[in-house]
Amino acid sequence: MTNPKIKEAGIKTRFQKGVSPNPGGKPVGSRNRLQGDFLKALSEDFAAHGKAAIEQTRKQSPAQYLKVVASLMPKELEIKRPLEDLTDDDLIAGITALQGLIDSQGNAGGTRH
């Protein structure tokens, strides 16, 4: 059970609805500045030590290395198959046209496979 004195004190010390404890708010740009400073420091450190850190992680903690690699992969991998919609006849016509182009150039480029 809650002590009534604590409960009463809590009500008196709470901010009233609509009254801000800090009407001026945070200084403009303070969070952005902190983020910018952090990212700049991280970028500089990574430029100097990133490759070595990646290599060390790969050797000493392969599971963690793979976890990082996997986290960078897109959630859904879209595989494009440009020939998928072609019919067999379309494919045969394309192959025939390519073969004709190869034959018309002769054997100037080397051996034929």
Phi-psi region of 21 (alpha: psi -120 to 50; beta: other; left: phi over 0): alpha
Other beta carbons within 10 Å of 11: 8
Q: Give yes or no for residue 47 having a pLDDT over 90.
A: yes
Domain carrying residue 61: 30-72
Q: Is residue 60 part of a domain?
A: yes
* 20 or 9, higher pLDDT: 20
Q: Is residue 37 part of a domain?
A: yes
**And the tokens for 96?**
């025939």
Q: Is residue 91 part of a domain?
A: no
Q: How confident is the model at residue 109 (pLDDT cuts 50, 70, 90)?
A: low
Interval 40-55 mean pLDDT: 96
> Domain count of the chain?
1
**And the tokens for 89?**
């006849």
